[in-house]
Amino acid sequence: MNIMLKRVFLLFNIFLFQLFFLHGQSDTSTGTGFFITADGVIVTCAHVVQDANTIRVTVGNNSYNADLLAINMDTDVAILKINRRPSKYFRLANFNNANLGDKVFVLGFPLSGLLSSDIRLTDGILSAKSGLGTDQTYFQISAPIQPGNSGGPIFNERFEILGIAAAKLDDMITLIASGSIPQNVNFGIKNTFISSVMPNLRIRGGNVQSMNDAITATVQIIVENKTLAARSSITITNNTGYTVYYAYVSPSDNDNWGRDVLGTDILANGSSVTVQLPYPLSEINRYDIKLIDLDGDSYTKWNLTLAQNGTIRFTFDDFDTRQVQNTTPTPSTAPPRSPNNRTPSNPTPSNTRNSNNSRSRKTHSLIGYSYAKDMPLGFTVGIKNFYASFNMSSRFNFSYTYDRGAEAWGELEWIVGYSIPLSKYIRIPVGVGINHIAQESWEHNFSYEAGLLFVFSEFLYLSATYRPLRKGFALGVGLTW
C-alpha cells in the first residue's frame, strides 16, 4: 500500500516537474506563442514568462520587445503584446463541441538548442477532455510536445484554437513510478481559460484558414535575464497628506487595474509600504500606479519604468483633477487611452471598464444605534473619521412651566471623538464628552471612551467602547458607506 501511495505521489509530481521544466531553465530560454487578435496580442503559457526580465518575440525574421499584459499562474496562461499588427491570427473553437478522436495539430519551436530553429508541426488526436486526476483546466492529446513547445497553439482541422500546449509526462520517470511507459501523454490548457485571465480582452474572429496561415500566426518567445518572480517588489511612499486605502500597480496596456496590492492594510500619510507584485518587472514595460484615499480621491502616476526594489513617492501633486469625467489630462508619454478608462477589480468582482475613479470606502460616513449602561436610548453619527454619540436614560423627563421654569429628571450623555484607522476594517474610536444627571439639580461630569469599531461587508459596522465614568461598555451597530 505504501509503495502504491508513493507511486501516485511521484506520478503527480512528474506532471508538475514537466510543467515547470518544459520550456528550459537557462538564463535564456524559449517557448512558443500565437496571435489571438489583430492588434498584436499573443497567448502563451505563464510558466514560459513568469520569471522574465525581458521578453522578445520572433515573427519571421524580425524580433520585437513584448509587454506582459496579464498572467495567471493557477491556469498557466499569460497574455503578451507587441507593437505589430499580424497578418494572420487565430480564432477560438467551441471546446464543448470537440469530440474524443478529433484530429489535432500542434505548432511550436521545440528543443531549439538541439534541433533547428525552424517551426515544427506534430499531429495526433484528442485523447481526453480533462487532465491528470480529471483536472478540468487541461485536456489530453496524443500529438507529441517537447521542451520549447510550451505556449504553442493546439488547433483542429478548421484551424480553430482548442487550447495551449502545456506539458507532457516523462517516459523514464513514469516508468519508475508506475511500471509502464506512457504513450504520447501530453496536455493542453483549454481555450476557455484564455479570456478569464484578461476579461476585457476582445477576441473577435480570426483569419487563419490554412496551415501556412497557422504557421504565420505562431511565434517564438525568447526569455532573457530571468529573475525570481517572488522578488518582484517595489516600495510606495505616501506623502499626499491623506491616508491611502487602496493601491494598484498595473502594466500600462492593461484594461483593468487588477487587485489592491495593500490587501487589508492602509497606508498612512508619511509612511511607506513594500508590495509584492503579481508579475515580474520588465525593463521594457511601462506601468501605472494609482492610490485612492479615504475620500475616494485618486493619485496616479502614468507610464513609469519600475526597477526591482525601487521606491515610488506620491505627493499631492499627483492628485487626479476631476473636471469632467473621461477628460483627465494625461502626460504626453502616457498610453493612448483615458486614465479613467480602467476600474479596480477588487473587492468588486467585475473588471468592466468604468468612467468613475472613486471606490467604495470604509467608514466614510456612518449612522446607527448606540446603547450605554443604564442609557438604552441613543444614536451615533459620523463623517469621515469624526463621530458624535448621544445617549439618555429611558426615564428621562423634561418639562417647562411658567412658574417653575425648566425641570428635568434622568441622565443623558454625549461624546464626540475621532476614529483612528488600524486597517480597512478595524478602527479605534476615542472620544470625550459630558455626562448630565438631572435630579433636584443638574450635575455635570467629564466623560471619555475608547474601544474598537469593526466594518463588515462594506456597509455594516459594530462598535464597543469602554466608558470609565459609567464603569461599563457602550455598544453600537449601524450602517456605513
Considering the domain architecture, whether residues 20 and 161 belong to the same structural domain is answered as yes
Per-residue pLDDT of the chain (481 residues), as tens digits, is 444 444 444 444 444 444 444 444 446 788 999 999 999 999 999 888 887 778 899 998 888 999 888 888 888 899 999 999 999 999 999 999 999 999 999 999 886 655 557 899 999 999 999 887 788 889 999 998 887 888 999 999 999 999 999 877 655 444 444 555 556 788 999 999 998 888 777 787 899 999 999 999 999 998 875 444 445 788 999 998 888 888 988 877 666 777 788 877 888 889 898 887 766 666 656 788 999 987 778 899 988 888 777 899 999 888 886 433 333 333 333 333 333 444 443 333 233 323 333 333 334 688 999 998 888 889 999 987 899 999 888 776 666 666 666 666 678 899 999 988 887 778 899 999 998 887 767 788 899 999 999 887 667 889 999 998 878 899 999 988 7
Considering the domain architecture, whether residues 193 and 291 belong to the same structural domain is answered as no
Considering the domain architecture, whether residues 155 and 39 belong to the same structural domain is answered as yes
Considering the domain architecture, whether residues 188 and 46 belong to the same structural domain is answered as yes
Considering the domain architecture, whether residues 291 and 424 belong to the same structural domain is answered as no
Considering the domain architecture, whether residues 317 and 382 belong to the same structural domain is answered as no
What span, in angstroms and rounded, lies between the C-alpha atoms of 407 and 405? 7
Question: Does a structural domain hold residue 16?
Answer: yes
CATH of the domain at 277: 2.60.40
| Model confidence, pTM | 0.47
What is the β-pairing status of strands 54-59 and 442-456? unpaired
Considering the domain architecture, whether residues 256 and 187 belong to the same structural domain is answered as no
Question: Does a structural domain hold residue 417?
Answer: yes
Question: Does a structural domain hold residue 384?
Answer: yes
Domain of residue 370, residue span? 365-480
Residue that is last in its domain, among 194, 224, 254: 224
Q: For 409, phi and psi rounded to 5 degrees?
A: -135, 130
Separation in Å, CA 342 to CA 74, 213, 304: 24, 34, 17
One DSSP character per residue, 328-369 reads: ----TTS-SS-GGG----SSSS-----S------TTSEEEEE
Considering the domain architecture, whether residues 144 and 63 belong to the same structural domain is answered as yes
CATH of the domain at 447: 2.40.160
What is the number of structural domains in the chain?
Answer: 3
Considering the domain architecture, whether residues 45 and 124 belong to the same structural domain is answered as yes
Considering the domain architecture, whether residues 308 and 436 belong to the same structural domain is answered as no
Question: Does a structural domain hold residue 348?
Answer: no
The answer to whether 191 touches 93, Cβ cutoff 8 Å, is yes
Question: Does a structural domain hold residue 11?
Answer: yes
Question: Does a structural domain hold residue 398?
Answer: yes
DSSP assignment letter at 422: S
